[in-house]
Amino acid sequence: MKKLLAIIILMASSTCALARNDISDYSVEEAMSTPKLSSAIGEGVSFYFGEQKYPKVLQNFGEFGSNKKTNAFGKSDKAACQWAFASAIKSLKQRAEKEGGNAVINIRSNYKGNVTASDTTFKCGAGAIVAGVALVGDVVKIEG
């Protein structure tokens, strides 16, 4: 029992040594083209990042966010970040469908309250155990 307690204390105190939070940019196009993302989000809702052009907005349902984390243990930062991104996009899609929209426009990264817009990249924080992606965008109904 004492050995188990000692191991638990050692593991708890060593988490600081494992703690890291590397914030990096990853390609939206590359992440959107992965088979796991395609299967996770399906069809019916379009996504427009940063200042990408989109068809005329017929109705705006408001701004919504998604903050998703995934297990990064044993995965590359890129793989973990793409999976977290897929979860965040799926969440935005579900919100769009719930509100009656067919698109999410002006999608921006919102990592720890720092909002950044890019047409081509998203931000992801990756650590030894967890990776996370936070996105915010406007759910709308567009022409088409």
Q: Which residues of 9-30 are buried (b: 16+ CB within 10 A; e: fewer)?
A: eeeeeeeeeeeeeeeeebebee
Q: What sign results for the dihedral spanned by CA atoms 42, 23, 65, 101?
A: negative
Find tokens 């349902």 and name the residue.
61
d(C-alpha 61, C-alpha 73), whole Å: 37
Task: Give residue-wise pLDDT tens across range 56-104.
Answer: 999 999 999 999 999 999 999 999 999 999 999 999 999 999 999 999 9
Range of the domain at 121: 20-142
Is residue 27 situated within a structural domain? yes
Is residue 58 situated within a structural domain? yes
CATH number reported for the structural domain that contains residue 88 in this entry:
3.30.110.70
Task: Give residue-wise pLDDT tens across range 7-62.
Answer: 444 344 444 445 788 999 999 999 999 987 888 788 999 999 999 999 999 999 99
Q: How many domains does the chain have?
A: 1
Is residue 106 situated within a structural domain? yes
Residue 65's closest CA among 132, 143, 126? 132
